[in-house]
Every structure is written in structure tokens, then in C-alpha cells.
Structure 1
Amino acid sequence: MLVLGIEAATPVAAVAVVQGERVLAERMVNNQRTHSVNLLPMIKAVLEDARVAREDLGGIAVSSGPGSFTGLRIGMATAKTLAQVWGLPIVGISTLDALAYPLTGQGGLICPILNARKDEVYAAVYRTVEGKLERLEGPMAVRPEELVRRFEPLELPVTLLGDGVPIYGEFFKKQLGSRVFLAPGSAMWPRGAPVAELGYRLLMAGEGEDPLELLPNYIRLSEAEVKWLQKQKG
């Protein structure tokens, strides 16, 4: 099965086409341009790079959060529109799962952290068990101090990755010392290929959804929603 993967939940825009677990083509940009400008040209280009026509696709996978509210909306709207127009099933893939997945097999804990603003990170904690990545905790919106408290009793090395690392990486190293490892730059950002590959597995298991039914996983309310609720209470 050929699957198109779309990642737009962070400042990075990424697109890939996989055939099963084989990556045929992938593009990624971190150029600070809005995803509404980047995504459609990238999708067109990656299909051409893979020499795949839209009629050949078996489904679409899209990063479903957590992450930037604006980026998620753009990515989800793009993926759902294409799936509906092309008549394809769609699956949502956790942004944190997609970040951690390429580090499957690494010892210790794997913890993607995304900048959630308000002095919080979106995070989840993973460990490789019998060759497969297992989520131990999350996804959650949590203060870095609280995440440190959760790591302390585990006494295991922790690999951090994600766009929260440039902001909070040194804090975690100071708190946890030599137990903390920061992923290299090439593994730091979300990519389209893990989204597509994880999507392929769900689609093969029959878990594809109608595009109209797929919803993002924001983890917490947006600022606009918080203000609206406060206004209603007032």
C-alpha cells in the first residue's frame, strides 16, 4: 500500500510517500514560512519524486497533535480535503509518536517535548520493549519541573528531542545531569516518513477513518477557547 504522510504540527512542514515500510520520497522544510504556503507544493513534488499518481495511493496519514494550533489546523484541513476529494481513508498519528518512532531500539527512555508555551511542554515518555516502541506515559501538557519529578525515580537515561529542546534542554541537563541526552539535529524534528509509516500500519489494520470524522488532539484548550469559557462563566 502507498501512503502519503503529512506533518504540520510544529514549525516544520514535512511530507513523505511510503510503500509499506519503504520510503519512496520525502521533503522537509524549516523555513518559517506558513504551512499553507509550503504544504501543497511539497505534496505535489513528493508524489512526483516518488513517481506516484494520486490514484495509486491507498490512504493518507496526518500528524494529529499535539502541537501548534495553527499548524495542526492547516495540516489536518489539507489532509482531510485531499482524502475526501481523492476518496481515500485517513488516519491521525500522534505528533509525539511520530517523533519517538525513529529512535525505536535505543536504550533508556525516549521523551519528545514540544513547546506548548505558557511555560509548559507537550510530552510523552516511551521505551523500547521487545523491539517495539511502547508509550509509558502521555501525551500530556506539563511544566518541565513536573516532568523532571516524573523522571527522577525511574533512574534511567533519557533522550530528549523536539522543538522544546532548544528552549528547555539545558534545564533538563542541569536537573538530571548525565542521564539526559539530546538527540542530534537530524533526529530532532518531526518528519513525514514516520507519520506515513505509522499510518500504513493503521490502514493495513483497517483503522482508516472517514475524513469528516478525524479530529485533532490538542491536549489542552486554545487561548481563544479559554477566553470564551471565562466569558461564559462571567
Structure 2
Amino acid sequence: MKVLAVDTSTASGSVALLDGDVLVAEWTVLSERTHNRRLLQSVDRILADAAWNLEDVEAFAVTTGPGSFTGIRIGLSTLKAMAWAMGKPLIGVPSLEALAMPLAVASCPVCAVVDARKHEVYAALYRPDGQGALQEERAPGVLGPDKVAGWITEKTLCCGDGFLLYRHIFFQSAGHHVVDAGPGFHAVRAGFVGRCALRRLQDGTDTDPMHVMPLYVRPSEAEIHSGTAGS
């Protein structure tokens, strides 16, 4: 199955094309330009590089969050429109799962941590199942980095820009149990969004584009100021 996968949940946006388990092309960039300005250009460029037409795509995949509220909205609305217009399936993937997915071959837990600002992080804890997939041990949430560090009671691979930002807290709290996943594992890559999506597709996930919802975890600033948070 040919898949177009997109991540817009953080500043480092990513787009990828997969043909089954084969990664055909992937483009990840950290840019000051907003996702709204670069997403469609990125899609056009990667399709051209791979000599694909948009009509060749058989399924779409997108990160649902948590992460940047604006970025998530842009990614979801764009991919929903494409999938709905073409009558193709859309699979939503939690951004923290996609971040942790490259480490699914590890023999220890994986803690995915993304900066949420306000001295907080979005985080989730996963355990590789030995078959290339991840079992969720701590669901995605927003909390202080010290609280996340408290989850770590055994050797654990840590990844994400939130870990890099607060690594001193992790090492102070959990010491030798903390293992930095290393360069290349601290940003969401769309290729792994696509691989997560293919696994979910095999598991029978709902692929109706209109049913894919954002995973914000906490209310937006607009909701807080308007008093609609939690309503």
C-alpha cells in the first residue's frame, strides 16, 4: 500500500512516502516558516522527487498530537481534506508513539518527551513488544519534567526535544537508568508515522477521515481565555 505520511506536531515538520514497509522518500526540516506555508509545498516536492502523483497514494497518515495546537490543526485539516476528496483512508497516529517508534527494536522501555512550554512536557512511556511494535505503559499526558523522570525505574531510552531541554532533571532524578537515545532520535519522522499507521490499519483501526480527531491533552490558550476549557 502506498502511503503519504505527515507530521506537523512540532517545529520540525516531516513528510514521507512509503510503499508498504519500504520508505520511498522522506523530508524532515526545522524551519521558521509555518506549517501552513510549507506543508503543501513539501507534499508537492516529495511526490515529484519520487515520481508519484497524488492519485497514486492509497492511504494517508498524520500525527494527531500532542504538540503544537496550530501545527496539529494544519496537518489534520490538510490530510482530512485530501483523504476525503480522494475517498481514501486516513489513519491518525499519536505523535509520541511516532517519536518512540524508531526505538521499538530496543530491549528496554522508551520514554518519549516533547517540550510543551510553561515548564511542562508532553510525555508517554512505551515498552517494545519484541516484534517491532510498542506497548503503551503511560498514556500521553502533559506534566512537569520531574514527574516524567519519576516514571523511570529501570534502564530507559529517552527521546524528544523535551528530554533534551530537561535532561539535567532526568539525570538528577533517575541517574544511571536514563539513556539518551542519541542524535537522530529526538524529532518525529514521518516515515515512522507511516509505519505506525500501517500497523494500525492491520489492526482494523477506523480510517474514516472525519473520525480522526486531535489529541491535544490540554486546552489551548484560546480555550483557557474564553473559559471553554473542559466544556
Same fold (TM over 0.5): yes
Q: How does 1:1-234 map to 2 (within 5 A)?
A: 1-131=1-131, 132-151=133-152, 154=153, 156-229=154-227
Q: RCO higher in 1 or 2 (8 Å CA, sep ≥ 6)?
A: 1
Seen in structure 2, the aligned counterparts of structure 1 residues 158 and 43 have a Cα distance that, compared at 3 Å, is: same
The SS at the match of 1:187 is: coil
Moved >6 Å (runs of 4+): none
* Secondary structure of 2:127 counterpart: strand
**Cα pair distance change 1:185/1:75, threshold 3 Å:** same
How many correspondences in the alignment? 230
TM superposition score normalised by structure 1: 0.91
Q: Structure 2 CA distance, aligned partners of 1:172 and 1:108?
A: 17
* Native 8 Å contact 1:59 1:203 kept in 2: no
> Hey, what's the Cα distance between the residues in 2 that align with 1:64 and 1:146?
23
Deviation of 1:149 after TM superposition, in Å, equals: 2.4
Separation of aligned partners in 2, 1:21 and 1:143:
36
Pairwise CA distance, 1:51: 2.1
* Deviation, structure 1 residue 200: 2.1
Structure 2 residue runs of 5 or longer lacking an equivalent are none
1:172 CA displacement: 0.7
For the residue of structure 1 that corresponds to 2:33, the secondary structure is coil
Match of 2:226, SS state, is helix
Partners of 1:230 and 1:190 lie apart in 2 by 30
Q: In the superposition, relative to structure 1, how do residues 168 and 228 fare at CA in structure 2: closer, same or farther (>3 Å)? A: same
How far is the alpha carbon of 1:32 from its aligned partner? Answer: 2.2
Structure 2: how far apart are the matches of 1:12 and 1:79? 18
- 2: CA distance between counterparts of 1:55 and 1:227? 42
- Whether the 8 Å contact between 1:105 and 1:133 is mirrored in structure 2 is no
C-alpha change, 1:110 and 1:55, in structure 2 (3 Å) is: same
Question: Do the aligned partners of 2:127 and 2:137 also contact (CA within 8 Å) in 1?
Answer: yes
What is the letter of the counterpart of residue 187 of structure 2?
A: W
Which protein is richer in helix relative to its size? 1
Q: Name stretches of at least 5 consecutive residues in structure 1 with no aligned partner.
A: none
**Identity of matched residues, %:** 35
Out of 116-125 and 90-99, give the one that drifted further: 116-125
* Alignment deviations for residues 142-162 of structure 1 (CA, whole Å, 9 cap, x no partner): 1112122232xx3x1121111
